[in-house]
Amino acid sequence: MSGAPRTGPGFRVWAVPGIGEVVPGDDLAKLIAAAEPGLADGDVVLVTSKVVSKAEGRIVAADDREAAVDGETVRVVARRGTLRIVENRQGLVMAAAGVDASNTPAGTVLLLPVDPDSSARTIRDGLRDALGVRVGVVVTDTSGRPWRSGLTDIAIGAAGVRVLDDLRGGTDTHGNPLNVTVVATADELAAAGDLVKGKTAGLPVAVVRGLPHALHLDTPDGTEEPGARALVRAARDDMFRLGTSEAVREAVTGRRTVRSFTEQPVDPGAVRRAVAAAVTAPAPHHTTPWRFVLLESADARLRLLDAMRDAWIADLRRDGKSEESIAKRVRRGDVLRHAPYLAVPCLVTEGAHHYGHARRDAAEREMFVVAMGAGVQNFLVALAGERLGSAWVSSTMFCRDVVREVLELPAEWDPMGAVAIGHPAVEPAERPARPVDAFVRVR
């Protein structure tokens, strides 16, 4: 929600000396109240997560820090050598899950607070009880940031603070509408506090005064304002959820055959980007054997599918199938008909060598067919990377002449199935685990 104006005469920020060494069981609110009796209504107290972790007993014995990181990791985001960027149990994405081996006795590590927002509320309520002041509290931790070098403090817990200041719907000084501006106020406060706390000065607490827009002390129904957890971007909105190699692996292993689509239109640009990925596949003799016919209009799709269905029904009748059996088969084959976008990959063996020997010529064609499969696999994986579902079905291979005629394709283009493309109507089921050793033979 939008707060008070963000402009003003200025603000003060200062570190609080005299906190001393924090040990498990300490009451941080009482320590802060004893060290900073000058706290006033509307101040924001910034507390380094290290002392919160110590007070809450989040010190664990760990001869191997990596084992502690494993225990706090929910998902590996990126890995470069020994460095791991992970999502931890608090939902934060950071190096080493926030596990810290500094400022703690040898053989131990500090884990982040279990619930930093709850920790912030406890400190806020304790300060109110001890000093009678109504303040905001931010629990901070040091973190790196995508695209930027260097570290800064961010908010991992908050209470009584407007963690996000939503300015959308307002205007700038020139009257232009603000359509996407949501300010991470709690992170700005954390960074301001870090300027005076420092990393090695032994000053784990700071106070900010003079920023009324940053406070959110009351809600109409008495419920808590969302804490710093609101700063964590939801997976569906996170365009950079994985590192490069992890994203490639996720696209490959996460690809599923999708047979049910919504009516949401498919972005033609996304399909063309997938084609660009397809044509990077390996191919024999430096050839480019891939062609993709993209059926973007409903009319083009229906003309092709109607002609293919008629050809299939005629084949089934020649095979002596009953009308009931034919109707069932046609219904099962309707995945292409329900897709909002179709692509027909075609193989062109231009550049193939001709040996005049049946076995060698057959092997030559097989090389091109394998290259076609690699190209289509690239295509399907790239579609998954575009958050599009797909199903590669073989229908066009059984009536290539019909497909060439309807799509007006050259005689040398061999349709190699069709790919149904669209936005999945349901979340695909988890892929069952397949032990690698079942597919490997080592000699």
pTM: 0.68
Given a contact cutoff of 8 angstroms between Cβ atoms, the answer to whether 137 and 191 are in contact is no
Tokens 């924001």 sit on residue: 44
In whole angstroms, what is the distance from residue 85 CA to residue 79 CA? 6
Query: For residue range 17-50, what is the model confidence (pLDDT) as tens digits?
Result: 999 899 999 999 999 999 988 999 999 999 999 9
Given a contact cutoff of 8 angstroms between Cβ atoms, the answer to whether 168 and 179 are in contact is yes
- Report the CATH number of the 12-58+113-237 domain: 3.30.1330.100
Query: For residue range 274-305, what is the model confidence (pLDDT) as tens digits?
Result: 999 999 999 999 999 999 999 999 999 999 99
pLDDT at 169: 65
Q: How do the domains of the chain map onto residue ranges?
A: 12-58+113-237, 245-439
| Buried b or exposed e, range 277-299, using 16+ CB within 10 angstroms | bbeebebbeeeebbbbbbbeeee
Q: What is the Cα gyration radius of the chain?
A: 31
pLDDT of 66 over the 60 cut: yes
pLDDT of 178 over the 60 cut: yes
In whole angstroms, what is the distance from residue 319 CA to residue 317 CA? 5
Q: Among 347, 345, 331, which Cα is nearest to 259's?
A: 331
Choose the weakest-confidence range: 103-107, 193-197, 292-296, 419-423.
Answer: 103-107
pLDDT of 384 over the 50 cut: yes
Tokens representing 290 are 């891939």
Which fold would CATH assign to domain 245-439?
Answer: NADH Oxidase (3.40.109)
Query: For residue range 411-441, what is the model confidence (pLDDT) as tens digits?
Result: 999 999 999 999 999 987 888 888 889 999 9
pLDDT of 172 over the 60 cut: yes
pLDDT of 90 over the 70 cut: yes
pLDDT of 407 over the 60 cut: yes
SS percent in the chain: helix, strand, coil, step 5: 35, 20, 40
Q: Within 13 Å, how many C-alpha atoms sit on residue 351's CB side? A: 12
Choose the weakest-confidence range: 65-79, 208-222, 261-275, 349-363.
Answer: 208-222
Give percent of the chain with pLDDT exceeding 70: 93
Share the mean pLDDT of the chain: 89
Query: For residue range 108-153, what is the model confidence (pLDDT) as tens digits?
Result: 899 999 999 999 999 999 999 999 999 999 999 999 888 889 999 9
pLDDT at 415: 97
pLDDT at 174: 65
- CB neighbours (10 Å) of residue 78? 18
pLDDT at 5: 47
In whole angstroms, what is the distance from residue 230 CA to residue 237 CA? 13
Query: For residue range 243-260, what is the model confidence (pLDDT) as tens digits?
Result: 877 777 777 887 889 989
CA 272 to chain centre: 22
Choose the weakest-confidence range: 1-10, 95-104, 331-340.
Answer: 1-10
pLDDT of 95 over the 80 cut: yes
Per the model's pLDDT, the better-predicted residue between 146 and 353 turns out to be 353
- ∠ Cα 360 363 364 (to 5°): 85
Residue 242 binned pLDDT confidence (cut-offs 50, 70, 90): confident
Per the model's pLDDT, the better-predicted residue between 358 and 222 turns out to be 358
Q: Where are the alpha helices (DSSP H) in 132-260?
A: 185-197, 244-254
Among positive and negative, which fits the CA dihedral 378, 382, 383, 385?
A: positive
Pairing status of strand 93-95 against strand 83-88:
antiparallel
Tokens representing 259 are 């047979």
Query: For residue range 1-25, what is the model confidence (pLDDT) as tens digits?
Result: 344 445 557 899 999 999 989 999 9
Query: For residue range 149-168, what is the model confidence (pLDDT) as tens digits?
Result: 999 999 999 999 999 887 76
